[in-house]
Structure 1
Amino acid sequence: MLASRLLPDHLTFPFLLKSCSLHHAHVTGRALHSHIFRLGFVADVYINNSLVFMYSACGQVELARRVFEEMPERDVISENSMLGGYLKCGDLDDALVFFRGMEMRNVRTWNSIIAGFVRGGRCGEALDLFNEMRGGFVKPDKITVASVVSACASLGALDMGKWVHGYLRRERLEFDLVIGTSLIDMYGKCGSIERAFEVFREMPKRDVQAWTVMISVLAIHGRGEEAFVLLEEMEKTGMRPNNVTFGALLSACAHSGTVDKGRWCFDVMRRVYSIEPQLQHYACMVDLLGRAGLFEEAEMLIASMPMKPDVFVWGALLGACRMHGNVELGEKIAGCLISMDPLNHAYFIILSDIYANAKRFEDVKRIRDFMEDQGIMKTSPGHSLIEIDGQVYEFSRRSVKEELMKEIEWVLIGINVELMWTGYVPDDDMELFLTA
Structure 2
Amino acid sequence: MATGGVGRRVRGVVCAVVAALSVSGCFAPSPPMFGDGSSVPEESARVALPVRPGADGDWALNDSASRLLGQGTTLARLGERNGRSWRLTLPAEFALTSRRPGAPHSALTRDSAAVLVGGTDGRTGPSALAGVDLNQGRLTWQHPLPAGSRVSLHLGGTVVAAACHDGTCRLTSWNIGSGERRWSRTVAGPARVLDGCRADALGPAPGADDHCAPYVVTADHVARVDPDDGSLYRVPALRPPAGTVDRITVRAGRTVLVTAPTKGGCRATVLASGTDAGAGDRGWHRTFVWDQPQARRDPYTGCRWNRTLPLVVDHRMVLPDQKGALVVDAYFGTLRPAKRLAPGAYVVSDGSRAVVRTPGRADRLLDAAPGDDRPVRPQGLGPGARSVGRGFWQDGRRLVLFGAGDEELWEGRSDCRAFADLHVGGTVHYCDGAELVTLRPVNKD
The alignment's TM-score, normalised by the length of structure 1, stands at 0.32
Relative contact order (C-alpha < 8 Å, sep 6+): which is higher?
A: 2
Q: Which has the larger radius of gyration?
A: 1
Greater per-residue strand proportion: 2
Greater per-residue helix proportion: 1
